Amino acid sequence: MEDSKLLLSCFFACILFSVVNGDNPYRYITWKVTYGDIYPLGVKQQGILINGQFPGPQIDAVTNDNLIISVYNYLNEPFLISWNGVRQWRNSWQDGVSGTNCPIRPGKNLTYILQVKDQIGSFFYFPSLLFHKAAGGYGGIRIWSRPKIPVPYPLPAGDHTVLAGDWYKKPHYVLRRLLDSGVNLPFPDGLIINGRGWNGYKFNVDPGKTYRFRVSNVGIATSINFRIQGHTLKLIEVEGSHTIQNIYTSFDIHLGQSCSFLVTADQAPKDYYVVVSSRFTRRVLTTTAVLHYTNSQQGVSGPVPGAPTVQIGPSLLQAKSIRRNLTASGPRPNPQGSYHYGLITPGRTIMLANSAPYINGKQRYAVNGVSYVQPDTPLKLADYFKIPGVFNLGSIPTSPPSGNNAYFQTSVMAANFREFVEIVFQNWEDTVQSWHMDGYSFFVVGMDGGQWTTASRKGYNLRDTVSRCTVQVYPKSWTAIYVALDNVGMWNIRSENWARQYLGQQFYLRVYSPANSWRDELPIPKNALLCGRARGRHTRPL
């Protein structure tokens, strides 16, 4: 009976999407989420598997494809999947975070119905609840350009996904208990590449050919540096933006970020180290995979190539060197430079400052003095059903308070549809911050040390900066972005450091349109899970 209801819901949802999205293809995916034994650092652990895999299955889609993803939860805990960088156009119902969706209860399922509207590039999915990200459950997302839209480089001979990041030997529920008790996490135990430790993964290449490497930092605590022994990295894409094709010998990738490189197998035929190491940590963690030439008769040898460790300057200069390719087409057949963001005056400035307060004797993290508390009902459902008492607009200020006091609140900031805003992330702490914004790509117009002032705008890049969904803020520094709020919904803005996110360094931006029209936002899905104070309500017919 339950399966029949699911099929019926999918059927009606597909009818709706066929009306809204025309003849764009549908891709049907079924995932079974289970626990299973994994050995990422050589020690047996309980990991989260998708269809028996860690990392989970790759999602491949073409611009504007519709993805119908049925997720079955066989864990003993509630579960949700979110889609890092997929904009969910007019559809925050499918975002898969606690502020938008009820969790999938053990033994139950949820079918996500989403469209990769007007997107290309490299992204990843991850489990968003209960510190599950520390146990796996993540995988890569590749969104390919439509065949008739040219890309600004020759078609590579192959395409490799690199999911790299830090890892803990302790189970995710032990790490969660540490945070719940007010104790910060210890230093990670190591780094992994595609779920494996030192030399545990192999990338095969043919001599003389060029390959695309899509690298994502899927860790929870540290920035990383990526490099390949004896080879250069030609940067071609950052989270959906084609870039000027600068050449690097190593590249910093911060928490939650993704990028693509072209690598040519132009060296002597043998095996080479693919290296990932931690950045801005006193103790440097390093792991390797293997770049294997198919005619190789010699294994990896020599010292692992080094890279910057704690130095901020080289990373800042590298970040400023990333430029948008203005002449290349994006997901549509028009140049990426046709949107002249630098000629638009922002309607207002929002300044966000991170902090690490102790509240009631326990370690918490905050944005503008507010440490986020998860409500008993997802914010999106409370907003749709007009349930009072779940959240208040304006419960987080749009600039940092003058004092050092911090407090708990279910923080939601109000914004209007089609606003064009400037957001400044101000970081007075000694650690690198990484910020993500669901539902959007934004223009990274500037970053520098010290206190941001209006005079800082003189150094903005108003011509060819990249647009992306995750940006770093260096210690005692600031980063500024421009964003056109053209996507109605309830959107999570969060730290990609997962302990900080879990303990309150996040909030929601409610982008509101009074029109109440399907033109601005899709209706609540017929199969939406209802929980908390929304339980027993009825979704409107499709």
Domains and CATH numbers, the chain: 26-144 (2.60.40.420), 158-321 (2.60.40.420), 341-534 (2.60.40.420)
Could you read off the pLDDT of 181-226 as tens digits, one per residue? 999 999 999 999 999 999 999 999 999 999 999 999 999 999 999 9
Torsions phi, psi for 460 (to 5 deg): -65, 150
Torsions phi, psi for 21 (to 5 deg): -110, 10
Q: What is the mean pLDDT of residues 346-360?
A: 97
3-state secondary structure 145-187: CCCCCCCCCCCCCEEEEEEEEEECCCCHHHHHHHHHCCCCCCC
Could you read off the pLDDT of 492-501 as tens digits, one per residue? 999 999 999 9
Tell me the one-letter amino acid at 139.
G
Query: Is pLDDT above 90 for 539?
Result: no
| Integer angstrom CA distances of residue 362 from 120, 179, 182, 497 | 42, 9, 4, 18
pTM of the model: 0.94
Query: Is pLDDT above 50 for 6?
Result: no
Residue 451: count of CB within 10 angstroms of its CB: 11
